[in-house]
Structure 1
Amino acid sequence: MRIHHLNCGSLRKIPPLGEQLAAGTAHRELAAVCHCLLIETDSDGLILVDTGLGTADRQRPEETLGADWVAYAQPSPDPEESALRQVVRLGYTARDVRHIVLTHLHRDHTGGLPDFPHARVHVHPEEYRAVTDTGAPHHRHSLDRFMPAHRAHGPLLTPARVDEHTEWFGFPGVARPQGLSCELLLVPLPGHSAGHAGVAVRDGGGRWLLHAGDAYFHHGEVEHTPPLSHPVLDPIQQGAQTDAAARVAARDRLRALRSEHAREVMVFSAHDPWEMERALGHG
């Protein structure tokens, strides 16, 4: 099994915080990213974790993403950043992506779905319920953020199965995507969306990677005590989250996980460009 870290959508630039300058880490202004994973497997074909922005989002961004969001996020129009183009550059076709596992159903995570219409799309059952059950809490909020252009083709949305007896490093309610034989789990990290979850996959060396989605936006939130968030990103989190207390609790559990199991688990979020630099070996 081979895992690729992909940036599937550059967004507005973010200045570094003072702690980054002091620590001597990447200290330049960087564009926010849409951090996705592409997993090559022997038995399950290609698995894409989140999809970032798709090809249509770059051609008709205001139509597919919404004019207000585009004005604020400033997405790059470069089609070469799409997951589809990156998959093709690796020598595959769109049909080789047989499974997509999503942390949640917000527009900057689902934009690539129309590029892979034959893939089965796995989400945590609470996220599935939020967009399919009109009586579910936050149904309208969740459906509004799952953009019509990203679901017009009728994606094969599939709820993962929760194993009540399985915990992952103390996280309960872990779900397993149906039909996958590789070791991949959806780990509940609620609060940012109704059924937001991290995606945990074990790499070839035996270490776990945890894609934490939007459970936090800046690495200072999990690397510092007390957490150090970014003033540019805080309003985005506050405007998107469905349950602030649950989101903060999930973030704090991630900080403890990173502190106590750093050798066993690599934690990263969806939009932090400095984490992406590290994942690619540049930072």
Structure 2
Amino acid sequence: MRIHHLNCGSLRKIPPLGTEPTADVAHRERAAVCHCLLIETDSDGLVLVDTGLGTADLRHPERSLGADWVAYARPALDPEESALRQVVRLGYAPRDVRHIVLTHLHRDHTGGLPDFPHARVHVHPDEYRSVTDPAAPHHRHSLDRFMSAHRAHHPLLTPAVAVRDGEWFGFRDVARPRGLAGELLLVPLPGHSAGHAGVAVRDGDGRWLLHAGDAYMHHGEIEHTPPRSHPALDPVQQGAQTDAAARVLTRDRLRGLRRDHADEVTVLSAHDPWEFARLTARAGS
């Protein structure tokens, strides 16, 4: 198994806060990222974790993503950053992406879905219910944020299966994507969306990598004491979250996970550019 770190959409530039390790190229502003993972597996083809912005988003951003979001996020709109183009540059065909696992169904995570219409799309059961069941909590909120342009092709949206007595480093109600043989789990990280979940995958060296989606947006939230968020990203979090108290609790649990299990688990978020730079330098991808 090989895991690639991909930036599938550069967004507005943000300044450093001074919490970045001095080894980072950190003393300048960086563009926020849409941090996705591409996993090469032996039995399940390619697995994409989140999709960032897709090719249609880049051609027609206001129509696909919404004018207000584009005005605030300021996406770079570089076609070469799309997951589709990056998969091809690695020597694969788009159809080799057989599975997509999403942390949640917000626009900067689902934009690439139309580029892989054949792939099965896995989400946590709570996130699935939030967009398919009108009686589910936050249904309208969730459906409004799952952009119509990203679901017009009727993606093969599939709820993951709850793991019996499912627990992962103390996180409960863990679910497993259907039909995947590898060690990959959806770990509930509530607060940001109705069924927001992290995606945990065990790499070839036996370490876990947890893509925490938007459970936090800046490494200072889990690495700094006291937690330090980024003022440029705070409005995004506050505008999207469904439960502020649950999100703060999730953040604190991730702080504990990083503190107590740093030798077993690496935690990453979706948009922090300094975190992305560290991980790509370490992985060589």
**TM category, shorter:** over 0.9
- TM-score normalised over the length of structure 1: 0.98
Aligned residues: 282
Q: 1:34 corresponds to which residue?
A: 34
The equivalent of 1:45 in structure 2 is 45
Contact 2:46 2:99 in 1 (8 A): yes
Unaligned runs of 5+ in 2: none
Q: CA deviation at 1:18?
A: 2.9
1:133 aligns with 2:133: yes
- Cα deviation, 1:53-88, whole Å, max 9, x if unaligned, reads 000000000000000000000011110000000000
Specify the SS of the correspondent of 1:17: coil
CA contact (8 A) 2:19 2:224 kept: no
Please state whether the residue corresponding to 1:281 is helix, strand or coil: helix
Q: CA RMSD in A?
A: 1.2
**5+ residue gaps in structure 1?**
none
- For 2:183 and 2:199, the matched residues in 1 are separated by 11
1:187-225 per-residue CA deviation (whole Å, 9 max, x = no partner) reads: 000100000000000011111000000000000000012
Instruction: Give 1:36 shift.
Output: 0.2
Listed as ranges, the matches of 1:173-212 within 5 Å are: 173-212=173-212
- Decide which moves more: 117-126 or 222-231: 222-231
- Structure 2 residue aligned with 1:71: 71
Give distance in 2, aligned partners of 1:258 and 1:19: 16
Distance 1:184 1:163 in 2: 12
Are 2:13 and 1:20 equivalent residues in the alignment?
Answer: no
| Residue identity in the other structure for 1:197 | A
Verify the 8 A CA contact 1:164 1:172 in the aligned structure 2.
no
Q: Does residue 1:218 correspond to 2:218, yes or no? A: yes
Answer yes or no: is the 8 Å Cα contact 2:191–2:246 preserved in 1. Answer: yes
Q: Distance in 1 between matches of 2:267 and 2:77?
A: 28
The match for 2:249 is: 249
Q: Amino acid of the residue matched to residue 238 of structure 1?
A: Q
Return the TM-score normalized by structure 2: 0.97
Q: Which whole-Å CA distance do the structure 2 matches of 1:29 and 1:164 have between them?
A: 45
Following TM superposition, the consecutive aligned residue runs of length 4 or more in structure 1 with deviations greater than 6 angstroms are none
Contact persistence 1:221–1:227 (CA under 8 A): yes
SS at match of 2:20: helix
Aligned residues of 2:20 and 2:274 also touching (Cα < 8 A): no
Q: Secondary structure at the match of 1:259?
A: helix
How far is 1:121 from its partner? 0.1
